[in-house]
Structure 1
Amino acid sequence: MVAPRTALPALALVALLAAGCVNPAEQQGGATTAPTSSSGEAKRIGFFGFAKANSFSAATFAGVEEHARANGATAEFLDPNFDAQAQVQQLQDAVTAKRFDVFVVQANDGAAVVPAIQSAVRAGISVVVQFTPVGTRYDTAEPQVDGTITLIDVPTLNGEGLGRLAIQACQSRKLSPCEVAYLEGLKALPLDNARTQAAVGVLESAPGVRVKARVEGGYTQESGRKAMQDILQKDPGIDVVIGSSQAVLGAEAVAKGKDILYVANGASRQTVEAVQQGRWFGAYYLPVKTLGAKAAELGLAKALGKNVPATNVMTDVPPATSMGTKDALAQVSGEYDE
């Protein structure tokens, strides 16, 4: 949480959970015989992440790279810097050049990448759709392109979870009306729009809860600071703020001294610490680095001709704590730093 889990990142972004810096190689039973192609060369993984500058994507790639290295494969981060069309071009070029045996894809625009992903599958590349769906639906974990493997956090479920956490925050102080500000991810990203609509739908259905602001908060502290400045100028009485963990860090700095309850979509150590310390009300948390390793594991296994499940949901990968307040996250720590 982009995520993208930005985008994602990041969010979404999304939720996130892990027990400290887990070594993916240990989780999977340690290094195995080096995966090799029919020509005897090591398998190559191309990681098409949201952006290198995004901490969520960087942590995911750390898991991909660690698992690849432990299993005799290589991994490379191809950086589109949140540019959906740049990512499409990178995918197309990689298919044409036959650079990789495995694609792990965090799609900035799930619909835009479909033709390139279809080409990759036809070329015999093992494609793992990671964190965000590839296709036009953001309410399902099922593969929307035949031949792909999914390992995702369903954006609509992520949004609903954030909305429920915000309602709990309002109820914790018996606030009615309770004024909520939603820091959207990136309005240009369809998955963020789906997440936002799901979150706002839950909030607006709750008695006494009012969505007072919807501002693009993005996936950096800088964008979060700017969004919070805009919000406080118009609605200084905001009670609850929802956003990516990066944006919330920025918002908190701007609103210093104000009694605001924060709900973060993220999995960093700073996010977990803020919840555990009581500075933030709660977080939607996933073990980001561990999930990167899991994506690499699935992709390499399929590239070696093994049977792997086509549909995989991030909240099913242990350790599993997809959402929580101070008590729920008491025994976990993040897998990366903002």
Structure 2
Amino acid sequence: MPESPLRRTGLAVLAAAALSLSLAACNSDVTGSQAASSGAAEQAKHTGPVRIALLAASSQNGFSKAVYDGAVAQAKKLGDVEVTIFDGKFDSQTQFNQLQNVSGQGKFDGIVIVPNDNVGIAAAVPAAAQAKIPVVTVLFPIGPDLTEMTPQVPGVVSTVASNAETDAKAQAEGVAAYCEGKNPCNVAILIGQLQFPFDNLRHKAYRSVLDQHSNIKVVATGQGNYDRDTSLKAMQNILQANPKLDAVLSNADQQTTGAQIALESAGLDLSKMYVTGAGGNTEAIKQVRAGKWAADLANFPVSMGSAALDQAVNAVRGKPVTPVVDANKLGPVPVIVTKEILDQYPDFSGEWSD
């Protein structure tokens, strides 16, 4: 998956209490194709330029930058829309403060956020709701339910994301299919950090699939922290104890790139293994096309930024808002790509780079 560590501080503890007071029940019948959400309906008709604050997980991160690029491109297309990026520095407290400050400055009409801590940040959303500034969240839902895309918090009008649990299971099912007939089939998992809610969710989803197969042996789980060098070291340690690997399952392309260096340095032929990542960055697509990675879970951050900008501007201007935008349907290729699939899309190279 894209580099999106949910940096946690003591804020998460405070947020849990705040959430019980600030969260309101959502209408479970609302779908992505229905008319404006209640948050959008509350917005008065807006005239003049629309000023959008984009709160990036980190402005130095390739995925967040691609979201910003998509938002800026769509702003130019719409006209009379300005986008300003804020650097969340992969720190939940920094981003929490930014959301509160932006909400109180009176300088912005709407907010797009790539949250570092999707649970803790919910306690800052009421400040935006009180100022009648609509919030659109990208990549992750905001609120306590990690798998609920319908906005859970008053003030959040739209979620541009996909179900991380479903996506992780799809990755693991590819490994399971490869392992059929191999006994044992030795699998190493690389996860961002198990302390992060979404990484813990993904890891559990991986195991829920793999553990159903008696021939599959998960020999190690390493934490790659969405970083190539960290993942390189983690895979070197895994290989010392487990030199015979059949598959590597990773939730981030950066981690798979680091693992690849370690695997090839150990003399392993990746084309004879099942190696996969997540994020769909340009390097990942290149490796899948070359047959070194068996598959990749593709994300489309430029398209996600464009869609999020649309929903934010619609909310500001009092137009219908789509409460849930399925991010997996925004790209030109299926969400799980293999060499065979990419051969059908020769022009696709990924929407972002690390």
Q: Same fold (TM over 0.5)?
A: yes
**Given the alignment of the two structures, is residue 158 of structure 1 paired with residue 167 of structure 2, yes or no?**
yes
Give the secondary structure class of the aligned counterpart of 1:67: helix
Q: 1:290 & 1:79 partners in 2: Cα distance? A: 20
What SS does the corresponding residue of 2:318 show, helix, strand or coil?
coil
Aligned equivalents of 1:296, 1:180: Cα separation in 2: 40
- What residue in structure 2 maps to residue 221 of structure 1? 228
**Contact 1:267 1:288 survives alignment (8 Å):** no
Aligned AA (1:291): M
Aligned to 1:196: 203
Contact 2:295 2:338 in 1 (8 A): yes
Residue of structure 2 equivalent to 1:22: none
State the alpha-carbon separation in 2 of the partners of residues 227 and 48 from structure 1. Answer: 31
1:206-228 CA deviation, whole Å, 9 max, x = no partner?
23111111111121212221221
Deviation at 1:251, TM superposition (A): 1.1
- The answer to whether the 8 Å contact 1:8/1:185 transfers is no
Provide closer, same or farther for how the CA distance between residues 39 and 316 of structure 1 changes in structure 2, counting only shifts above 3 A. closer
In 1, Cα distance between the equivalents of 2:234 and 2:191? 9
Structure 1 SS opposite 2:59: coil
CA-CA distance at 1:38 after TM superposition: 4.5
After TM superposition, give the deviation of residue 118 of structure 1 in Å: 2.4
* Partners of 1:327 and 1:308 in 2: CA distance: 37
- Aligned letter for 2:352? Y
SS at match of 2:341: coil
Choose 1 or 2 for highest CA Rg.
2
Contact 2:129 2:155 survives alignment (8 Å): yes
How has the CA–CA distance of structure 1 residues 220 and 53 changed in structure 2, closer, same or farther, with 3 Å as cutoff? farther
5+ residue gaps, structure 2, are 8-44
Q: CA deviation at 1:99?
A: 3.2
Identify the residue that residue 30 of structure 1 maps to in structure 2: none
Give the 5 Å matches for 1:42-191: 42-71=49-78, 72-148=80-156, 149-171=158-180, 174-191=181-198
Q: Structure 1 residues 302 and 242 mapped into 2: Cα distance closer, same or farther (>3 Å)?
A: same
Higher helix share: 2
Once residues 203 and 87 of structure 2 are traced to their aligned partners in structure 1, the CA distance between those partners, rounded to angstroms, is 25
2:316 paired residue among 300, 303, 317: 303
Letter in 1 for 2:299: L
Contact 1:133 1:154 in 2 (8 A): no
- Distance in structure 1 (CA, Å) of the matches to 2:194 and 2:76: 36
- Partner Cα distance (2:262, 2:188) in 1: 14
Asked if the contact 1:109–1:191 (Cα under 8 Å) also holds between the matched residues in 2, the reply is: no
Q: Which residue of 1 aligns with 2:268?
A: 258
Answer yes or no: is the 8 Å Cα contact 2:133–2:155 preserved in 1: no
Unpaired stretches in structure 1, ≥5 consecutive residues:
10-36
Q: Is this contact kept in 2: 1:286–1:321, CA < 8 A?
A: no
Q: Percent sequence identity over matched residues? A: 28
Give the Cα–Cα distance (whole angstroms) in 1 for the partners of residues 163 and 6 of structure 2.
Answer: 13
* CA pair 90-147 structure 1, distance change in 2 beyond 3 A: closer
Query: What secondary structure is seen at the aligned counterpart in 1 of 2:351?
Result: coil
Aligned 1:204-215 pairs, distance under 5 A: 204-215=211-222
